[in-house]
Amino acid sequence: MTHPLRPSALLALVALTTGASAQLSPAWTAATGPVQWMRTTSAGALVVATADALKGVDPATGTVAWSLKELANAPVDGYREVERSPFIALAPQGRPDALFMVEPFSGTTVFSSDAAGISNVTGSWFLYANNAIVVVGQKADKTAAMACVDMNTGAVRWTKDDSFSRVTACNSADPDAILLSTLFFAYKLDARTGAELWKKSPDPAFEKMSGLAAMLDKGGANINVPGITGLFVTTPHAPGLGFMGMQTEQRKESTDSQGKKTVTVTYKTFVNAFRLDDGGYAWSAPLQMQQKLGTIVPLKQGLLVGAGDNRSVDLLDYATGAGKWGKNGKGINVKGVLAGAVELGDRTLLTSGGDDGVVSLVDAAGTELWKKPVKLDGVVRSVRLLGGDVLVATAEEVDIIDLASGLSRLPDPLKGGADLVAVDASTTYVFNTKDGLLYTVPENGGAARALGTTPVVFEGKEKPTALESAPDGLVLSSDQNLALLGTDGSLKYRKYLPAPRESGLVRALKYASAVRAIYAAAAYSYTSAAFGAASQSIQVTDAGSAAARDITGAVSQVYGEGAVAATGAAARFFQEANARFKASTTTAEIHFLMTEAGKGEHVLKALRRSDGHEVGSIPLGTEKAPRYEVDAFTNTVYLAEGEGVKGFKL
């Protein structure tokens, strides 16, 4: 089991000071001209910035595949991968308010703030089923506006005025229509023309004051409306329906006899349902709650709504809005602010709390099934179903809980957290940093059993931070330590390798490690999350189905259901992403690391993970922050040197 952004054992940041290996020769050299900076995207594209253009280099051949002169000298600070999309975003030199979105394999500009007439972009949504991008920003006169851009060509299909400047969520309704919400209204628009198919407020009272609400929606990119928050949720559990939540804030100021002023703030949340075909209300009346808008999770049995400022939790019937939990359907209380939920048949595992986690189990009526909840240090990050038990991992601890009683199967939780849980085809392993031992957990439940009696101790006062299953055992690592453990807990090898002195040396390794971890997390698990909602990020796996992973499902989790059928500018990206999801379910053979080679020079080295032996090295020169990139899936290293880029493959 892995987690986004954890330090992967694949690319632990260590340095090698002894041993020799063959210096690798480049597989190709790309004649890009002097490189200012370069980046490898999460899907494996290579982007190079030069003084005359932004360029794309084919990772397989080193051919310069495309050039964009309008992005010559683009600053590296303006570069980013656009979340939940195939695209990268850049700002042209000297124009931080402008924005270009580029598909990095083809070099297609799918959005240009210059062409769209919209800068200072404050939000963007990628609708793959509609082949469209919706952006919100400012026109030249500084008034807010929204635009719909064709994802293939970058051409603006249509624009809207500042009534749409406070978009809170946006999604595809079908290939011809989109759904979006502002602070006060939900809309269905024609994807090609922008024509308004219907418009509704979650609160019928606002329908009577639609003029005032529209005025408050206007100019939202330029003004701050305190205390007003909105979201829009769609879910396959309730086809044909959409759910909008809106939070409002009221402030009351009072002065006591001493002249001291006190401000009292109260919150109100509205939740209502709409029929997606015509926008009509699906419920007889909206649900009104005296609370902040909190976590919302669409479950099979209903819409779970948690307060953002108290312990209240409601489960709403999708069709009617009626409460399904608690006395008279009025909801239940948990031990802290709701953080997430996991469905276990007709039962639901609830997580709540703040910096520490509380886990409880309720039945279909919301009645607590355990005498008392389970408390753990750290926020709950992952859950693994093990027959009649459940393994719960936070950032700091791992516990195994009997679902029938709520009692722990362990004398004490295992220390170290979710990143020290690894799963192969048939076994779950946990490394416990408290005693330095590897544990195995029965797939059908039961107490964890220590493998071996000799603790694994890391040097440099470090504790292990990552565990990963490999064909030859289990790779255990921290920043400067690397070890291979047998499945019986025995230590096959351990190396302590001092870290490089310059922090700039390890940026590319950190990034490559994080990217692989993100893919692995999605490929190994599924996440219950609400579209557009303040939703949970708990990973859930089932021991009974761990070997049968749905890669198409993993793609849709990360990028949206429409992504699996994406065409045009997004097609190559999803092809590559699909391959990487599959690759992340296997263990790489190479472990990259770095060391100083003397006289201010640096060398990137590769270890064979099965035995820790060095299999190759790449000199990086004397720069304090050498310009290199690492692709952890293809074991390719790119090095900017002289008049171009060299590609090294292992």
The pLDDT, as a whole number, for residue 194 is 96
Asked whether 101 and 111 are in contact (CB, 8 A), the reply is yes
The pLDDT, as a whole number, for residue 217 is 46
Separation between Cα atoms, residue 556 and residue 268, nearest integer Å:
34
Residue with tokens 């690592």: 477
Separation between Cα atoms, residue 129 and residue 564, nearest integer Å:
9
DSSP helix/strand/coil, 433: coil
Token pair listed for 221? 């990119």
Strand residue runs (E) in 139-183: 144-150, 156-160, 169-174, 177-181
Q: How many residues does the chain have?
A: 650
Separation between Cα atoms, residue 340 and residue 343, nearest integer Å:
10
328 Cβ contact list (under 8 Å, min separation 6): none
Cα within 13 Å of Cα(363), Cβ side: 6
Separation between Cα atoms, residue 202 and residue 282, nearest integer Å:
11
The pLDDT, as a whole number, for residue 152 is 84
Closest to 560 measured CA to CA, from 569, 568, 552: 552
The pLDDT, as a whole number, for residue 505 is 78
Residues of the chain where predicted confidence (pLDDT) is lower than 50: 1-19, 210-226, 526-535, 546-549
The pLDDT, as a whole number, for residue 14 is 40
The pLDDT, as a whole number, for residue 630 is 92
423 Cβ contact list (under 8 Å, min separation 6): 1, 384, 429, 469, 524, 541, 543, 546
Residue with tokens 């079908």: 174
Asked whether 150 and 135 are in contact (CB, 8 A), the reply is no
The pLDDT, as a whole number, for residue 540 is 67
The pLDDT, as a whole number, for residue 8 is 39
Token pair listed for 146? 């929204």
State the DSSP code for 164: G
Separation between Cα atoms, residue 542 and residue 529, nearest integer Å:
17
The residue extents of the domains of the chain are 9-20+25-504+506-517
Residue with tokens 């006289």: 599
DSSP string spanning 489-546? S-EEEEEE-PPPS-GGGGHHHHHHHHHHHHHHHHHH-EE---TTSS----EEEEGGGT
DSSP string spanning 352-369? EESSSEEEEEE-TT--B-
pTM of the model: 0.80
Residue with tokens 């939780």: 413
The pLDDT, as a whole number, for residue 13 is 40
